[in-house]
């Protein structure tokens, strides 16, 4: 045989031998796992051939037995025999203490996995039976302890050796025991030299593992979790009774919490979670108390910005009593922190949680209901919002408007918005603002997760979290005026827009109404919609004439939840608060009577129309055919008839700031640019009044007098 061919054949044989070796270790690891899981009812036996170069193989068989009086002794005896045969077969080429199966698991990891599976099965059996039956849990623990003693003391396996299984992120075996919450098993592995704070590639520690809530809400009891966590936190290395930190131990020092333990209890995983965050997520009040006593930071935030208090608030619907207990421990811990910045953040985060929960749990189901469409949907949303802010929905159904309840509704609804959500950002938000904006934004959180590829050179398959991606997703452009929180999109569509389409687009204040009444004893409102402004002005003695091209019917019957006759493109069939006459400005101000009306009346225009598709095409967002722009025709008709006073409520281009990168100016979405230009050209701004505003709107009330 040629030399090259001989070397190739030898290499192939070596590879085959290595493959058989890995398969053998894999099967032994699985047998160890099965033996412990079954409490000794399944034992390994082995068949070996002399050499793979002779076409041989290595096979581990699983043999089931009836449980015997000493299952731990039986398993250890069989396992010792298997390992002896394997070592005899492969000799010095097999380093048994660190050997891995073809699946990447070392032997101690397989043993820990068997105990975890046994714990899960035992809990499942107890749930399925009305009476608790003795399962294999106790036997499994006995077998596990015996196997660990063999692997550590006789074989020399390392209790810190992680699994190399794909996707397991080098998880240490202690994590599995902490997840199972077996104090005796945890103690055995710690006695053997396991590091209680060893982390995997994603930053998870054993302490975090015993604080993790199972996906199905099951798993170990809180008491078992706390017992395991206390063992991990209080562990003293053998021969280190004094807790000397200089020796690098992981223990409590006499008289207090060591800096080492305090730092370790606040370790974070890839998402910025500490053990305290996980305990708060599961509403495990005793665990929260323990962690705080051991130095956990009650002010720590995850990478998205969730604080322990915020996580409790997010999950409190699961168990309000447990949530309240967690909150009490956290607030007590925060009292020891200097300054009030954390308290302010906690209050603002609570508003974030409350607002998002209200939208997700109440408003979105209404909007998605098959029985909720169009105008009925808007009225149902308005009713829910009013109830949420503790206002009586019957106010909307009053036959005669008796008070300006809309101003109070605006005040209460706007008070729901956290400060960080209430502004347009031209520059970068502060760190606190960013944290509040991203803390509970589900979409942005999903986008921020990164899974490293399987061929990554350092941490294949591990998850990472991109804060830059999180923040870029959480803020979205708002009409090229700046950036606003993404989560407020639902607030706009499910709170603001339905209210505007059932009551009025602009909110009058009492002071604004009083001022209008003092300077304009007679007004003509064109495009009056529901007539809300005119109705309140009439209560103040103003001779208010309300007109609309498509007038709504006035009264209770038009505003109830069973009305389905659409009569107005802006307000549907919501019903008017006062008598609305049919008419346009061209019709009203025509002829001598029109001139008399214009000369004796101020013209009131409240958000007359959205002219984006004409004036701001770079901003226009229409899912329907745009409605005609009529405000300039109305103003021209009033001018030609000799009108002298215009009261305009809406946005104005000279007040709107846009980004330097904007592709064009923005005249707002309340009136056309031509209307605003004609108003400025033919009238003098006499007075500007602030009025209550909806989210991110910049409207005001301006009073204009005709130029001589």
pLDDT tens figures, 168-189: 899 999 999 999 998 899 999 9
Percent of the chain topping pLDDT 90: 62
Q: Cα separation of 632 and 671, whole Å?
A: 9
Residues 6+ apart with CB under 8 A from 569: 550, 627
What values do phi and psi take at 24, rounded to 5? -65, -45
If one compares 529 and 57, the residue with the highest pLDDT of the two is 529
Q: Cα separation of 423 and 323, whole Å?
A: 31
**Position 481 pLDDT exceeds 50:** yes
Q: Cα separation of 395 and 402, whole Å?
A: 9
Residues 6+ apart with CB under 8 A from 476: 483, 484, 485, 486, 489
Q: Cα separation of 268 and 275, whole Å?
A: 8
For residue 404, give Cα distances in angstroms to 216, 409, 410, 535, 648: 50, 9, 11, 10, 19
For residue 593, give Cα distances in angstroms to 387, 424, 588, 701: 47, 47, 8, 28
Confidence band for 40, pLDDT divided at 50, 70 and 90: confident
pLDDT tens column, 435-454: 999 999 999 999 999 999 88
Confidence band for 53, pLDDT divided at 50, 70 and 90: very low
Q: Cα separation of 350 and 440, whole Å?
A: 11
Q: Which residues pair with 298 in a beta bridge?
A: none
Q: Cα separation of 294 and 260, whole Å?
A: 11
DSSP one-letter code for 235 = -
Q: Which residues pair with 522 in a beta bridge?
A: 543
pLDDT tens column, 77-130: 888 888 888 888 888 778 888 888 888 999 999 999 999 888 877 666 555 554
Q: Which of 415, 395, 414 is nearest to 405 (CA)?
A: 395
DSSP 330-372: HHHHHTTSSSSHHHHHHHHHHHHHHHHHHIIIIIHHHHH-TT-
Element (H, E) at 128: helix 107-128
Rounded to an integer, the average pLDDT of 131-145 is 68
- In 359-441, which residue ranges form alpha helices assigned H by DSSP? 364-368, 374-388, 405-414, 431-438
- Residue in the structure block whose two tokens are 């009238």: 683
Superfamily of domain 504-706: Vaccinia Virus protein VP39 (3.40.50.150)
Angle between helices 71-90 and 137-149 (to 10 degrees): 40
**Position 247 pLDDT exceeds 50:** no
pLDDT tens column, 257-274: 555 667 789 999 999 999
**Position 566 pLDDT exceeds 50:** no
**HSE toward the beta carbon, residue 13, CA cutoff 13 A:** 12
| The pairing of beta strand 475-477 with beta strand 483-485 | antiparallel
Q: Which two tokens stand for residue 33?
A: 């796992």
> What are the start-end ranges of the E strands in 422-509?
449-451, 463-465, 475-477, 483-485
**Position 344 pLDDT exceeds 80:** yes
Domain boundaries, the chain: 356-441+483-498, 504-706
Give just the sign of the alpha carbon dihedral 469, 475, 476, 479: negative
Other beta carbons within 10 angstroms of residue 296's beta carbon come to 26
């Amino acid at each position: 045989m040629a030399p090259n061919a001989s070397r190739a054949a030898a290499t192939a044989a070596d590879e085959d031998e290595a493959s058989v070796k890995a398969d053998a270790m894999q099967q032994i690891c699985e047998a160890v796992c099965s033996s412990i899981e079954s409490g000794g009812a399944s034992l390994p036996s082995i068949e070996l051939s002399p050499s793979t170069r002779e076409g041989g193989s290595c096979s581990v068989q699983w043999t089931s037995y009836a449980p015997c009086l000493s299952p731990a002794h039986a398993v250890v005896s069989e396992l010792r025999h298997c390992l002896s045969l394997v070592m005899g077969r492969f000799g010095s080429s097999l380093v048994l203490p660190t050997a891995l199966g073809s699946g990447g698991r070392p032997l101690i990891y397989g043993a820990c996995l068997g105990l975890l599976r046994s714990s899960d099965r035992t809990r499942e059996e107890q749930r399925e039976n009305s009476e608790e039956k003795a399962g294999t849990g106790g036997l499994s623990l006995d077998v596990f302890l015996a196997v660990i003693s063999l692997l550590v003391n006789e074989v020399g396996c390392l209790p810190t050796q992680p699994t190399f299984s794909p996707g397991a992120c080098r998880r240490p075996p202690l994590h599995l025991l902490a997840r199972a919450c077996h104090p005796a098993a945890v103690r055995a592995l710690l006695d053997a030299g396991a590091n209680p704070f060893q982390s995997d590639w994603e930053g998870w520690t054993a302490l975090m593992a015993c604080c993790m809530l199972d996906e199905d809400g099951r798993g170990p009891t809180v008491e078992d979790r706390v017992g395991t966590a206390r063992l991990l936190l209080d562990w003293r290395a053998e021969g280190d009774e004094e807790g000397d930190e200089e020796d690098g131990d992981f223990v409590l020092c006499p008289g207090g919490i060591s800096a080492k333990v305090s730092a370790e209890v606040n370790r974070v995983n890839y998402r910025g979670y500490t053990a305290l965050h996980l305990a708060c997520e599961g509403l495990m009040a005793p665990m929260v108390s323990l962690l705080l006593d051991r130095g956990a930071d009650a002010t720590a935030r995850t990478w998205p910005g969730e604080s322990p208090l915020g996580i409790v608030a997010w999950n409190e619907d699961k168990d309000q009593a447990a949530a309240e207990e967690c909150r009490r421990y956290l607030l007590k811990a925060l009292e020891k922190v200097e300054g009030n910045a954390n308290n302010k953040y906690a209050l603002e985060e609570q508003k974030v949680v409350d607002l998002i929960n209200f939208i997700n749990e109440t408003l979105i189901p209404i909007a998605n209901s098959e029985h909720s469409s169009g105008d009925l949907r808007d009225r149902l949303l308005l009713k829910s919002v009013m109830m949420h802010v503790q206002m009586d929905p019957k106010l909307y159904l009053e036959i005669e408007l008796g008070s300006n309840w809309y101003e109070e509704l605006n005040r209460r609804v706007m008070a729901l918005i956290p400060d960080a959500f209430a502004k347009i950002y031209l520059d970068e938000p502060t760190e606190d603002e960013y944290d509040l904006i991203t803390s509970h934004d589900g979409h942005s959180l999903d986008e921020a997760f990164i899974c490293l590829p399987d061929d990554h050179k350092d941490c294949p398959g591990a998850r990472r979290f991109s804060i830059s991606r999180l923040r870029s997703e959480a803020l979205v452009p708002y009409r090229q005026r700046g950036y606003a929180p993404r989560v407020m999109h639902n607030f706009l569509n499910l709170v603001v827009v339905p209210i505007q389409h059932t009551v009025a687009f602009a909110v009058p204040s009492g002071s604004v109404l009083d001022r209008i009444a003092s300077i304009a004893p007679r007004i003509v409102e064109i495009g009056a919609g529901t007539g809300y402004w005119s109705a309140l002005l009439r209560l103040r003695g103003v001779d208010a004439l309300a007109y609309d091209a498509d007038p709504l019917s006035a009264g209770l019957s038009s505003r109830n939840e069973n009305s389905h006759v659409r009569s107005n493109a802006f307000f549907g069939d919501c019903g008017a608060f006062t008598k609305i006459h049919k008419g346009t400005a061209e019709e009203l101000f025509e002829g001598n009577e029109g001139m008399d009306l214009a000369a004796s009346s101020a013209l009131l225009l409240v958000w007359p129309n959205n002219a984006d598709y004409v004036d701001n095409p770079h901003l226009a967002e229409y899912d329907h055919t745009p409605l005609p722009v009529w405000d300039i025709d109305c103003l021209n008709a009033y001018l030609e008839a000799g009108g002298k006073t215009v009261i305009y409520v809406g946005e104005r281009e000279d007040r709107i700031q846009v980004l330097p990168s904007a592709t064009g100016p923005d005249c707002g979405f309340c009136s056309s640019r031509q209307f605003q230009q004609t108003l400025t050209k033919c009238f003098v701004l006499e007075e500007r009044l602030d009025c209550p505003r909806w989210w991110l709107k910049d409207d005001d009330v301006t009073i204009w007098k005709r130029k001589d």
